[in-house]
Amino acid sequence: MKNLWTIPLLAAALGAQMAPTLTVAPLPTVKVAKGKTATVTVKASLPEGYHANSNKPTYPYLIPLTLKWTGGPLQMESVVYPAGVTERYGFQLPTDKPLSVVTGEFSIVTKFKVPADAPSGPAAQTGMLKYQACDNKACYPPKNVPINVTVSVE
């Protein structure tokens, strides 16, 4: 009975190993003049052996990689996602189409416009990166990664 406390710790450790985490590199401050455009590149990576569906998954029921900008002084003009690579996995039936996925390191590039009437000075541009990581046997619950960029409007 005295070792029962190890069960929750073991379960937590196994759960942490099983739930892959997409990491995002720190973003540099974006300096931009009013009325001009700015580009923000989000560099992300998945651990080896894991993949996420691309922004254009093979099947409509799969959860796509998405980046939604939710607040800040910049106006989003476009988002360019990495091209998915097609892969087959052991859990697929022979009649299934290959999946469109991203693996390893990849970038998502957003082009913004700064309104002419944007307030000068520092501000935060915020967003949310959503993905669902899988390995060759299973998919894990979708996760959201907050994205924060410091913007200096000049």
Q: Which residues of 63-90 are buried (b: 16+ CB within 10 A; e: fewer)?
A: ebbbbebeebbbebeebebbebeeeebe
Q: What is the average pLDDT value for the chain, to the nearest integer?
A: 85
pLDDT single digits (tens) 103-123 = 999 999 999 999 999 889 999
Closest CA to 140 of 30, 15, 43, 26: 15
Give the mean pLDDT of 89-116. Answer: 87
Considering only residues 110 and 93, tell me which one the structure prediction assigns the higher pLDDT: 110
User: Which CATH number, 2.60.40.1250, 3.10.20.30, 1.10.357.10, 3.30.565.10, labels domain 21-153?
Assistant: 2.60.40.1250
| Measured distance CA(133)–CA(108) in Å, rounded | 17
Considering only residues 10 and 96, tell me which one the structure prediction assigns the higher pLDDT: 96
Tokens 């001009």 -> residue: 36
- What global pTM score does this model have? 0.82
Tell me the two tokens of residue 83: 């091209």
Question: In which band, very low, low, confident or very high, does the pLDDT at 71 lie, cut at 50, 70 and 90?
Answer: confident
Residue 88 is predicted with a pLDDT of: 80
| Measured distance CA(44)–CA(110) in Å, rounded | 14
Decide if pLDDT at 83 tops 90.
yes
- Mark out the alpha helices in the chain (DSSP H runs): 6-18
Residue 56 is predicted with a pLDDT of: 95
Decide if pLDDT at 77 tops 90.
yes
Closest CA to 37 of 79, 74, 81: 74
Give the mean pLDDT of 122-146. Answer: 92
| Measured distance CA(22)–CA(129) in Å, rounded | 10
| Measured distance CA(66)–CA(22) in Å, rounded | 13
Residue type at position 8: P
pLDDT single digits (tens) 3-54 = 444 333 333 444 444 667 889 999 999 999 999 999 999 999 999 999 999 9
